Amino acid sequence: MVFILAALMIIFVFAQVLMSHSNKKIENPNYVVLKDFGEFEVRQYDSMIMANTPLNSNNYEQNASDGFRRVAAYIFGQNEKEEKIAMTSPVFMEMGSTPSMSFVMPKQYKKEQLPNPTVKNVELVDVKPMRLAVIAFSGYANDEKIASYRKKLIGLMVKNDIKPGKQFYFLGYNAPWQVLGRKNEVAIEIIESK
């Protein structure tokens, strides 16, 4: 019995390490780190195309699963061409005035090349370049952690004379079944001084 448990534990750890390594091969959106403050960084994201679905509220725990399923259905083939589209990372969950969840489309596509969604409440949207302040945390995300890191990030931004906007995002990088090496981020728009 002990041998079986030990073998299962080794298989589990090995699978987690493989999953963590394979995440490094998943495409991420283009951005440039404009300044690294140690605890957070300021990034300039390029424009991107997203498969987007609206959410009922900013509550992560209530909405993450439904939103993820809808946008995942689109990339897994619920579209006019029944075409599978490569998954990218992170998943963007907009948590400001218009809550939504989005997958960034792979860079190889122009919007007109992407098949139209057949999933209800999923649409393709163009996202303009964004300047965001970003703070990272590990482990599983929940509403309390997201709120705590948002508050911390706002404090760090103000301390460094960076004006936070109202729009903020949760960025999730890992599948729910990945236990080790989880990465999450909270990002807040930056209001540029005139």
Helices (H) then strands (E): counts for the chain = 3, 9
Give me the count of residues in the chain: 194
Which two three-digit tokens encode residue 67? 């939103």
User: How far apart (Å, rounded) are the C-alpha atoms in residues 40 and 32?
Assistant: 14
User: Domain range for residue 22?
Assistant: 2-191
From CA 83, how far away is CA 75, in angstroms rounded? 7
Q: How many domains does the chain have?
A: 1
pLDDT for residue 96: 77
Residue 114 CA to residue 40 CA, distance in Å, equals 34
Please report the pLDDT score of residue 28 as a whole number.
92
Record the pTM. 0.84
pLDDT mean values, one per 10 residues, the chain (194 residues)? 51 44 71 97 97 88 85 95 94 89 95 95 96 96 95 97 94 80 93 72
Residue 182: give its domain's CATH number: 3.20.80.10
Q: What is the pLDDT of residue 56?
A: 86
